[in-house]
Structure 1
Amino acid sequence: MKYFLTGLMALFIFGCKEQPSKEEQSHKQDIIQKAVDTVIKKVTPPKPKFRSFEGLADTTFIRLADFSDGFAYDLRYATENNFLKAKVYDCAECYTRVKTAKALIKANAEFKQHGVKIKFYDCYRPNSVQYKMWEIVPNPQYVANPKKGSIHNRGGAVDITLVTLNGEELDMGTDFDFFGKKAYHDNFDLPKEILDNRKLLKETMERHGFWSIRTEWWHYNLSSASKDKVANFKWNCD
């Protein structure tokens, strides 16, 4: 279509008079090109920026960044900055099942009304990675036994915090994967700011179908994911 319009307009303009000079020809060609680009822009629908959930089963695994750019990421297990002191992911990606992603996007929309957004420390975890973690720390107090698997392995658990829209982390009292009473939800012996930040995180996530565990302020499970099968889906690293 582009080449047809260009040729048609060129024949119309140049066929109406004697052969123009090189300068006139160049100027008119620019005018033609702008006109053609305008027509093409009007008749060609823009490609969607993000993928749609339409047609995807709720249990399908998806890369969250393909469906929203509203999140922040610090995927610790793709680094050595974690309690294992080891990198267990080949690359940093946040995958979840579709139903988990939908709930997260809705929760994040509510967080943004408060001037904050979700930042991920961990998302779906292949069961093979769970085995790697178990080899390093074979203690069910800190790592779920891979034979049973965790909700992380089912694509329904996330480890998160909140950051401002400019990326500054809210104070939650401890770092991610701090194992001690200071990280407990029922520890109220903390400054009001920290308690308020945890309350905002917890109550908002609960409104969107997630539940927390008492000992980790960062961990949230999607209620409808507890019966999903343990998975070992692995994403490609480009």
Structure 2
Amino acid sequence: MINQGLVDIKKVDSTLLVELKYSTTDNFVGKDVYGDLTRAYLQPAMARKLARANKLLAEIKPGHRLLVYDAARPNSVQYILWDALDMPARQKPQYVADPKVGSIHNFGCAVDLTVADENGTALDMGTHYDYFGPLAYPRTEQQMLREGKLTTRQIANRALLRRAMTGAGFSVNPTEWWHFDGMSRRQAKATYGIIR
């Protein structure tokens, strides 16, 4: 990744927390698919945006930091995730990008993350990372609140994350509260090469 011009996000902002979920078994695949990749990398411009989001978060909520679950992802891993997702092919792109097209992660321009408190503990967002369903959708939060499936605190925590990320120029994913794009797939593809 370094050879492709990406940077370790901790070198841009050492206060960011990193726990790459695909370097553990705590993910929807249930296995470590990253092997020796344990650092989070992004394109330099995206890493600087993320550092701005982390700074904004600390201003809004002192002592809180961003906790990164995934960043740049090799396209070879995208194939593993695509194949592991057990649902009809027409539904898969809602949750995992088709590796033939490439995820924005595959260009180093997307990040999955949450907010951690003063102790480094992730805030309660109502679902775990990689939860596939309406409970994780930002667009259905008010409905989930009315149905008693999300609490006002969980929604406030998600809003805090979105405020910091959008304030730094990231865009929200409609089906995953944890996923943010630094640019569109078309822009990423035109600007950067895919990470193999």
TM-score by length of 1: 0.69
Aligned to 2:67: 119
Does structure 1 retain, via aligned residues, the 8 Å contact 2:72–2:106? yes
Task: Please give the secondary structure, in 2, of the residue aligned with 1:220.
Answer: strand
Which runs of 5 or more residues in structure 1 are unaligned? 1-58, 234-238
Which runs of 5 or more residues in structure 2 are unaligned? none
Which moved further from structure 2: 210-219 or 125-134?
A: 125-134
Aligned to 1:133: 81
Q: Distance in 2 between matches of 1:182 and 1:224?
A: 25
Task: Please give the secondary structure, in 2, of the residue aligned with 1:129.
Answer: helix
Aligned structure 1 segments of 4 or more residues deviating by more than 3 angstroms: none
Post-superposition CA distance 1:22-51 (Å, at most 9, x none)? xxxxxxxxxxxxxxxxxxxxxxxxxxxxxx
Larger radius of gyration: 1
Matched, 1:208 2:168: yes
Aligned to 1:99: 45
Matched, 1:79 2:24: yes
Residues matched between the structures, number: 175
Post-superposition CA distance 1:119-173 (Å, at most 9, x none)? 0110000111112222323633332111100100111100000001320211111
TM-score by length of 2: 0.83
Does structure 1 retain, via aligned residues, the 8 Å contact 2:29–2:84? yes
- Bigger RCO of structures 1 and 2 (CA < 8 A, at least 6 apart): 2
Shift of 1:181: 1.5
Does structure 2 retain, via aligned residues, the 8 Å contact 1:100–1:222? yes
- Residues 177-196 of structure 1: matches in 2 within 5 Å? 177-186=130-139, 187-188=141-142, 189=145, 190-196=150-156
Aligned CA RMSD, in angstroms, stands at 1.8
